[in-house]
Chains A and B, each alone.
Chain A
């Protein structure tokens, strides 16, 4: 039986409006609307046309299992200000597909238990320090934040969004925390995004502030979590020049801009130095990227899961087939976090861009 909610999801995943999908599939917008509302069941040929245009297997639309979709209200997006509704919906749709994949993995593998306390109402800096204490990681730099999150039961997925506006997002799905990272960003940016989303999970599990205030709190949390005050002040009580800042940012695995911001917040550098360093970093290209950056962090869970599956001769095509998903979507969800060569030798990058995420004007609303 045709599952209308799956059509809506696939359309949103591709960033399409109903009008645009109707044009592509040579049907009317009203027809698309009727299919999506369940008012009318589409004939086989229409489903195939829709499937073709959406690059989803036709079987996807007939799967009985209703898809658990992330709630836009409960998801915390980093980079929200510049994001369009279509971009947000496409990212959330990727989240829904991740739930499918995650459930499939959970049926077959025992993963670390969740250990993410709620510190709602706590000041972000204090929450960051408390969490470090609770996790017994002291004041030292965090070597690999993706590994740390996975060890604490967070499910980390990749977002391969062809947009600079969606950095990351996180949410609680019942008792399970999820973080989605845009793996097109620099490694340093990704680490900060991961810590930022951890901040949302810890501080805003039960709602709380929204919008800019919530984002500010998550930023403060990330800054304090990645660059603990006592360690920064012990190692780098001051900074005289950009060269020193670049040495520091390597130690804490953050961007030069984030490092400078933290030094200023901790009063290790003056207002004037902060402005001067920010200008110099911009001149040197540190606003556009991270010259001589660190290595990207990858997922240990995906590596182990994919290796175990490969040893059983389970390929990504088989996983995609079992879930009725495009192979490219499976690849995208672990892109940059694990090498898909462990699964079938096709390489991690084959999914990137295949999803044909398009930006369209949402003019049928």
Chain B
């Protein structure tokens, strides 16, 4: 089943309102994750960039959402670190995804294999949509704040998965595009010399 994709400003904002998540709060989380990614150097262990993105993304999502007092709480149950809203039965987890993120024509996939806790969360939702009883302890729809950060290329979407296979998400129920390809302004600072003022003529004369 094809995912329902929301990418126009009005439909993105309307859906995010239903989910009680201000777009600016999500973008602020993306910016924080990008800053954390940028703090890693070649001397850090491999995987540091991905971990920092996840760690700071998760922290910042909580920093942004919990003070809103609209039902969001921190939840680390089952080794699935999320924000949870019992009133609308939603959980949101940070996920590092590939460069199909934000691209309506492609299907994003997580970069690293996920464990059983993700499978249970995703399958629980699938069972519900298939008209079956969800797993007893799965009462929240899981959404991922998908982040793809690769140097200056930044992509993001808030999406609800529908299928996972071998630890990788293979299908999505709904995708809300936050940063599409080309949507994250790369900076062109320009050459220093050509853009600064002219040399000054300073007259010094012997009396």
Measured CB to CB, the residues of A under 8 A from B are: 107-112, 137-138, 140-144, 147-148, 150-151, 235-244, 247-248, 250-251, 253, 269-270, 272-273, 276-277, 279-280, 283-284, 300-301, 304-305, 308
Tell me how far the C-beta of B204 lies from the nearest C-beta in chain A, rounded to whole angstroms.
4
| Contact sample, A vs B, 21 pairs, CB 8 Å cutoff | A109-B207, A111-B204, A112-B202, A140-B195, A143-B198, A147-B199, A150-B202, A235-B188, A237-B185, A241-B38, A241-B39, A242-B39, A247-B189, A253-B192, A269-B31, A270-B28, A272-B28, A276-B36, A280-B38, A300-B202, A304-B204
B190 touches A277 (CB 8 A): no
List of A residues within 8 angstroms of B35 by Cβ? 240-241, 272-273, 276-277, 280
CA distance in complex: A243, B122 (Å): 37
Interface residues in B174-207 (C-beta closer than 8 Å to A): 184-185, 187-190, 192-193, 195-207
Tell me how far the C-beta of A231 lies from the nearest C-beta in chain B, rounded to whole angstroms.
9
- From B193, which residue of chain A is reached at the shortest CB distance? A143
B38, B185, B198, B204: which contacts A110 (Cβ < 8 A)?
Answer: B204
9 A-B pairs closest in CB distance: A241-B38, A304-B204, A143-B196, A247-B189, A280-B39, A141-B196, A240-B34, A110-B205, A276-B35
A interface secondary structure, majority: helix
How many chain B residues touch A (CB < 8 A): the figure is 36
Tell me how far the C-beta of A241 lies from the nearest C-beta in chain B, rounded to whole angstroms.
3
B202 touches A109 (CB 8 A): no
B189 touches A147 (CB 8 A): no
B56, B196, B201: which contacts A142 (Cβ < 8 A)?
Answer: B196
B34, B36, B152, B204: which contacts A109 (Cβ < 8 A)?
Answer: B204
A140 touches B203 (CB 8 A): no
Tell me how far the C-beta of B35 lies from the nearest C-beta in chain A, rounded to whole angstroms.
4
List of B residues within 8 angstroms of A244 by Cβ? 152, 187, 189
B187 touches A247 (CB 8 A): yes
B4 at the interface (CB under 8 A from A): no
B152, B189, B203, B205: which contacts A251 (Cβ < 8 A)?
Answer: B189
CA distance in complex: A273, B31 (Å): 7
B202 touches A236 (CB 8 A): no
Measured CB to CB, the residues of B under 8 A from A are: 28, 31-32, 34-39, 41, 56, 60, 63, 152, 154, 184-185, 187-190, 192-193, 195-207
B31 touches A305 (CB 8 A): no
A151, A240, A279, A280: which contacts B200 (Cβ < 8 A)?
Answer: A151
B202 touches A240 (CB 8 A): no
CA distance in complex: A241, B31 (Å): 9
Tell me how far the C-beta of B174 lies from the nearest C-beta in chain A, rounded to whole angstroms.
27
B interface secondary structure, majority: loop
Tell me how far the C-beta of A102 lies from the nearest C-beta in chain B, rounded to whole angstroms.
13
Tell me how far the C-beta of A255 lies from the nearest C-beta in chain B, rounded to whole angstroms.
15
B152, B184, B192, B200: which contacts A250 (Cβ < 8 A)?
Answer: B192
CA distance in complex: A305, B200 (Å): 17
With A251-B192, A272-B28, A273-B32 known as contacts, the answer to whether A239 contacts B187 (CB < 8 A) is yes
Tell me how far the C-beta of A301 lies from the nearest C-beta in chain B, rounded to whole angstroms.
6
List of A residues within 8 angstroms of B56 by Cβ? 276
B41, B152, B200, B203: which contacts A147 (Cβ < 8 A)?
Answer: B200
A109 touches B190 (CB 8 A): no
CA distance in complex: A334, B161 (Å): 68
- From B149, which residue of chain A is reached at the shortest CB distance? A240
A242 touches B38 (CB 8 A): yes
CA distance in complex: A14, B60 (Å): 54
CA distance in complex: A263, B198 (Å): 25
CA distance in complex: A110, B202 (Å): 11
A147 touches B192 (CB 8 A): no
Tell me how far the C-beta of B94 lies from the nearest C-beta in chain A, rounded to whole angstroms.
15
CA distance in complex: A300, B202 (Å): 7
B38, B184, B187, B198: which contacts A236 (Cβ < 8 A)?
Answer: B187
A108, A242, A250, A301: which contacts B202 (Cβ < 8 A)?
Answer: A301
Known A-B contacts: A147-B200, A238-B187, A272-B28. Give 17 more (CB < 8 A): A111-B204, A141-B192, A142-B196, A143-B196, A143-B199, A147-B199, A150-B202, A151-B202, A240-B31, A243-B38, A247-B189, A251-B195, A269-B31, A272-B60, A283-B39, A300-B200, A301-B204
- From A284, which residue of chain B is reached at the shortest CB distance? B41
Tell me how far the C-beta of B64 lies from the nearest C-beta in chain A, rounded to whole angstroms.
9
B32, B60, B189, B197: which contacts A248 (Cβ < 8 A)?
Answer: B189
CA distance in complex: A109, B63 (Å): 63
B204 touches A308 (CB 8 A): yes
List of A residues within 8 angstroms of B198 by Cβ? 143
